[in-house]
Amino acid sequence: MSEVKTHLRTCNICEAMCGLEIKYQDKQILSIKGDKEDPFSQGHICPKATALQDFYHDKERLKTPIKRTENGWVDISWQDAFDEIIEKFKTIQETQGKNALGVYLGNPNAHNLGNAMFLPAFIKSLGTVNRYSSASTDQMPHHVASNYMLGAGILIPVPDIDRTDFMLIIGGNPVVSNGSMMTAPNVQGRMKAIQKRGGKVVVVDPRRTETAKMADEHLFIRPEKDALLLLSMIHTVFANQQIDLGHLENYVEGLDKIESLVKNFSPQEMSDYIGIDASAIEKLATDMASAKSAVCYSRMGASTQTFGGLCQWLTNVFNIITGNFDSEGGAMFPQPAFDLLRRTERGQKTSYGRYQSRVRKLPFFNGEFPVATLADEITTPGQDQIKALITVAGNPVLSSPSGDKLAVAFEELDFMVSVDIYLNETTKHANIILPATTGLENSHYDIFFNSFSVRNNAKYSAPLFEKEDNQRADWEILKEIAAGLSGRPNDGFTPEFVLDMELKSGPYGNQGLSLQKLIDNPHGIDLGALKPCIIERIKTSDGKVNLAPQLYLDDIPRLKDMLSQPARDKDYPFDLIGRRLARSHNTWTQNSKRLVKGKNPVTLQLNPKDATDLGVENGQLLSVSSNVGEIKIEALINDDILQGVVSMPQGWGHNQKDTGMSIAATQPGVSINDLTDANRVDLLTGNAALNGTKVSIKVA
Ligand SMILES: Nc1nc2c(c(=O)[nH]1)N[C@H]1C(S)=C(S)[C@@H](COP(=O)(O)OP(=O)(O)OC[C@H]3O[C@@H](n4cnc5c(=O)[nH]c(N)nc54)[C@H](O)[C@@H]3O)O[C@H]1N2
Ligand SMILES: Nc1nc2c(c(=O)[nH]1)N[C@H]1C(S)=C(S)[C@@H](COP(=O)(O)OP(=O)(O)OC[C@H]3O[C@@H](n4cnc5c(=O)[nH]c(N)nc54)[C@H](O)[C@@H]3O)O[C@H]1N2
Ligand code: SF4
Ligand SMILES: [Mo]
């Protein structure tokens, strides 16, 4: 046995970028703890990080390419796998057109240095517009708002949680999710610090969440009414004449349009729809506008719904008109050391809205179509129909709306490839699975999440364990396919080479930032608090913030139409929303024994009054139906949820045959996305409307 060693790295499971201190001996991990000397996370860690060792040691994780045959899965060599994939993709594209090849990118791509760096070139090599990703089940409304208001989809406003005096959280549960589009390890500690310095935290959510329980105030809201809430808050700010653009006074266009828009959205008129008293709405808006600093942060619950586009736009509008945009304690903009914004020119025309999807005419945003229409594009005959598909680090059968229908659609493909670490609900439909290295075998630097971080940082993690001879990193796989398809030789650039170049030529290059400097500082380097910078960073052609883009104004009639619809559907009287669990991450961490032990966490939470009306008892098995599917799930009755609303975890449903995750299958749960309807999208951004699914409930 060799000596016990210490390895420092950043956890790459979620967005929080926690520093880890890992003690190990040979290939054995002795402990995984929070790195107290990481200047950003200061020792914070959650239970998922300790499972990194389980993913590393998991015997069911794939390490050799496998091919589906009549006699089951067989191992094949990398060369044979690449030869067959390139030959099949080329033939299909030559005979059926470039767009006959589709691509789906899942969430772990954003948490992987090589993928974040080399995916654009890979996608280009595919030569198809049929591009999809988990972004359209998640944060597309944020990117669309930034693109139309600020000229660049990557320019995301981030709550300055460490300095704000008032934080309003709409549809986010960062105490469990550890934050999203807000990279902030130890959100709980940061929220407590707001309270300690005399500030206030308010949560707006149909559930009394773990975050709501910590907040100073929680307001229950009816699902999908957030745009109305924001409009009535903006109405109040105008009515009180509290408009204050601060240092952006000469940089904001369209204030008059907002003023006339909100006239008809007074708190009094909207209150019944929203489910919050008019006086509470007025107080919230007034208190925020009068606070020294305040920030409205709205996330998943306000994005993955029918009006996600309007919600993210109006969130920005509220912050801007109260003087809380690009200023301390408000919504601010990071200046990352690896700056993706350098790829966008001022006034540059983007692909936003350039195309419509073939079947359902949904918008193409941020270089992709909504995944809610992927099944249609596979199953509907005609020119540009998808005949071959490659998924990279994604499990859309469990993560996309009407995921079970997508599984059926995959069976219609002529050829499918998955780059993944498991044989799961999605990859089992592939003809070939290419396994990538993961987690502790990879080097890391967070390209994306430093762009959404509440402080500017830089940290590099070397691989802890060397990969085995036969293994390949995701980026190596992607480069090999790209070279085969484009006919251009692999450029040979490694992630480290590009990272070093970007750091040296980036905004901190003149302060000596380089890969070597990061290697010399393995706990990471703090690059300081966020600074006002939007005037320099904005990418609109006139350098001004566009407060009222026409696209958004044109979506208001759709919102108004909702007002005339009945509050409760006759056949499906409940609104289903999702929830996240502290011990699972989306669909893929469920093969870790230490994370899935204990009681089945996949339960339907409902209010005691609804339970009484339905004659349901705690723990009873229920049958839940929507217009597209039915599942069976146990009842969890408590008053932490609004009457008429029910909630269940997302990311589960490992109850299928022919998959290779036996620990996950011991506690399979059911998939929420067998109930969500792919036809329900936010028509403005194409984002899936996962929350607010209408369901009926009966005892099973
Ligand atoms: N109803 C409902 N649905 C939701 C949500 C919700 O709240 N409610 N949330 C949505 C959100 S926010 C998201 S981001 C999506 C996520 O949707 P997806 O990205 O489709 O799902 P994941 O579970 O993240 O899938 C990760 C896949 O990558 C594989 N993987 C893990 N690590 C690696 C790696 O290092 N390399 C490779 N090549 N593969 C790897 C896993 O085995 C798995 O197949 O789900 C969405 N779906
Ligand atoms: N432990 C854990 N952490 C995770 C993940 C995980 O799976 N597990 N996934 C990661 C990913 S990919 C992401 S994108 C982030 C997401 O992180 P968050 O944005 O914090 O997402 P959720 O925890 O799903 O919280 C969404 C909240 O919206 C509420 N909600 C639902 N519908 C509505 C509505 O109509 N209006 C309002 N106001 N609220 C509503 C829900 O009750 C829920 O509390 O979490 C990340 N972190
Ligand atoms: S909060 Fe996220 S980044 Fe931090 S340890 Fe947990 S999973 Fe890893
Ligand atoms: Mo996500």
CA dist 175 and 170 (Å) reads 13
Mean pLDDT, residues 134-146: 97
Is CATH 3.90.79.10 the right assignment for the domain spanning 140-333+534-557?
no
Looking at ligand 3, which residue's alpha carbon is closest to its atom 4? Answer: 18
Q: What is the pLDDT of residue 669?
A: 84
Is the pLDDT reported for residue 353 higher than 90? no
CA dist 159 and 148 (Å) reads 20
Is the pLDDT reported for residue 354 higher than 90? no
Half-sphere exposure of residue 30: CA atoms within 13 angstroms, side-chain side: 10
Is the pLDDT reported for residue 118 higher than 90? yes
Q: What is the pLDDT of residue 336?
A: 98
pLDDT tens for each residue of 145-204: 999 999 999 999 999 999 999 999 999 999 999 999 999 999 999 999 999 999 999 999
Structure token pair of residue 519: 């290697």
Q: What is the pLDDT of residue 101?
A: 98
- How far is residue 663 from each of residues 54, 315, 407, 549, 581, measured CA to CA in Å? 11, 41, 22, 49, 17
Looking at ligand 3, which residue's alpha carbon is closest to its atom 2? Answer: 14
Q: What percent of the chain has pLDDT over 90?
A: 95
Distance 172 CA to ligand 2 centre (A): 5
Is the pLDDT reported for residue 667 higher than 90? no
Mean pLDDT, residues 227-237: 98
CA dist 265 and 587 (Å) reads 39
pLDDT tens for each residue of 503-525: 999 999 999 999 999 999 999 99
Nearest ligand atom owner, CA of 592: 1
Q: Which residues contact 249 (CB under 8 A, 6 or more apart)?
A: none
Is the pLDDT reported for residue 654 higher than 80? yes
Mean pLDDT, residues 588-602: 93
Q: What percent of the chain has pLDDT over 70?
A: 100
Q: Are strands 574-579 and 645-649 parallel, antiparallel or unpaired?
A: parallel
Contact 437, 472 (CB under 8 A): yes
Ligand 3 pocket, mutate which of 8, 11, 15 (most atoms under 8 A from CB): 11
Q: What is the pLDDT of residue 692?
A: 96
Residues lying with their CB under 5 A of ligand 4, a single-atom ion: 138
- How far is residue 645 from each of residues 55, 276, 352, 569, measured CA to CA in Å? 35, 15, 35, 12
Distance 566 CA to ligand 3 centre (A): 41
pLDDT tens for each residue of 366-384: 899 999 999 999 999 999 9
Atom of ligand 1 nearest to the CA of 690: 1
Atom of ligand 1 nearest to the CA of 422: 42
Averaged confidence pLDDT in the chain: 97
Q: What is the pLDDT of residue 490?
A: 87
Mean pLDDT, residues 390-409: 98
The verdict on the CB of residue 46 being under 6 Å from ligand 3 is yes
pLDDT tens for each residue of 553-583: 999 999 999 999 988 899 999 999 999 999 9
CATH code for residues 565-699 = 2.40.40.20
Local confidence band at 280 (pLDDT 50, 70, 90 cut-offs): very high
Contact 414, 87 (CB under 8 A): no
Distance 137 CA to ligand 4 centre (A): 7
Distance 366 CA to ligand 3 centre (A): 27
Distance 95 CA to ligand 4 centre (A): 36
Q: What is the pLDDT of residue 349?
A: 78
Distance 395 CA to ligand 1 centre (A): 5
Give the domain ranges of the chain. 140-333+534-557, 565-699
Q: Pseudo-torsion of CA 381, 382, 388, 392, nearest 10°? A: -90
Q: What is the pLDDT of residue 225?
A: 98
Ligand 2 pocket, mutate which of 112, 133, 175, 205 (most atoms under 8 A from CB): 205
Is the pLDDT reported for residue 686 higher than 90? yes
Q: What is the pLDDT of residue 74?
A: 98
Indicate the residue type of 243: I
- 648 φ/ψ angles, rounded to the nearest 5 degrees: -145, 155
Distance 586 CA to ligand 1 centre (A): 5
CA dist 547 and 317 (Å) reads 6
Q: Ligand 2: which residues within 6 Å by Cβ?
A: 14, 107, 138, 170-174, 176-178, 180, 204-207, 209, 221, 223-224, 226, 299-302, 305, 577-582, 584-586, 651, 691-692
The verdict on the CB of residue 447 being under 6 Å from ligand 3 is no
The verdict on the CB of residue 49 being under 6 Å from ligand 3 is yes
- 117 φ/ψ angles, rounded to the nearest 5 degrees: -80, -45
Q: Any bridge partners for residue 199, and if so which?
A: none
Q: What is the pLDDT of residue 691?
A: 96
One DSSP character per residue, 168-225 reads: EEES--HHHH--SSSB-S-HHHHHHHHHHTT-EEEEE-SB--HHHHHSSEEE---TT-
Is the pLDDT reported for residue 668 higher than 80? no
Mean pLDDT, residues 269-298: 98
Structure token pair of residue 317: 């509008």
User: Helix, strand, or coil here: 115?
Assistant: helix
Is the pLDDT reported for residue 350 higher than 80? no
Ligand 3 pocket, mutate which of 15, 112, 178 (most atoms under 8 A from CB): 178
